[in-house]
């Protein structure tokens, strides 16, 4: 059995999706690994903490961190919807609509 510790740094906005699902799946496959999640001071800190070896993996929004010297795996985008009460004004497109 694999055992140890996995330190993850992630922006708070990604803690629910995709981080919750990713860590749940990992935990099921590797129950002997303790998972620690760290909330960085800012997006740039995600790459810095992985680069310095403080964390083994980081989650951030694309384009918010310098990735030179790091491996990058793009994850599928998040689907976000707005839920409005019945009778709300019709949907507008773009800032000039």
For residue 66, being part of any structural domain is answered with: yes
pTM of the model: 0.74
Which token pair is 14? 């990604």
Q: Which domain holds residue 7?
A: 1-90
For residue 45, being part of any structural domain is answered with: yes
Compute the mean pLDDT over every residue in the chain, rounded to the nearest whole number.
Answer: 84
Number of domains the chain contains: 1
For residue 83, being part of any structural domain is answered with: yes
Indicate which CATH number applies to the domain containing 3.
3.40.190.10
pLDDT at 97: 46
* Three-state DSSP state, 5: strand
Say how many C-beta atoms besides its own lie within 10 A of residue 86's C-beta: 4
For residue 21, being part of any structural domain is answered with: yes
Q: What is the C-alpha to C-alpha distance for residues 10 and 7, in angstroms, rounded to an integer?
A: 10
Encode pLDDT of 13-56 as tens digits. 888 888 898 899 999 999 999 999 999 999 889 999 999 999 99
74: left (phi over 0), alpha (psi -120 to 50) or beta: beta
For residue 95, being part of any structural domain is answered with: no
For residue 97, being part of any structural domain is answered with: no
Tell me which residue of 82, 80, 64 sits closest to 10, measured CA to CA. Answer: 64
**DSSP 8-state class, residue 14:** G
For residue 96, being part of any structural domain is answered with: no
């Amino acid at each position: 059995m694999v055992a140890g510790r996995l330190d993850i740094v992630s922006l708070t906005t990604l803690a629910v999706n995709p981080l919750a699902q990713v860590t749940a799946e990992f935990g099921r496959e590797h129950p002997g690994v303790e998972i620690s999640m760290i909330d960085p001071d800012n997006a740039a800190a995600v790459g810095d903490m992985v680069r310095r070896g403080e964390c083994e993996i980081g989650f951030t929004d694309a384009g918010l961190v310098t990735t030179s010297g790091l491996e990058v795996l793009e994850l599928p985008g998040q689907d976000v919807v707005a839920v409005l009460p019945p009778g709300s004004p019709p949907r507008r497109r773009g800032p000039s609509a």
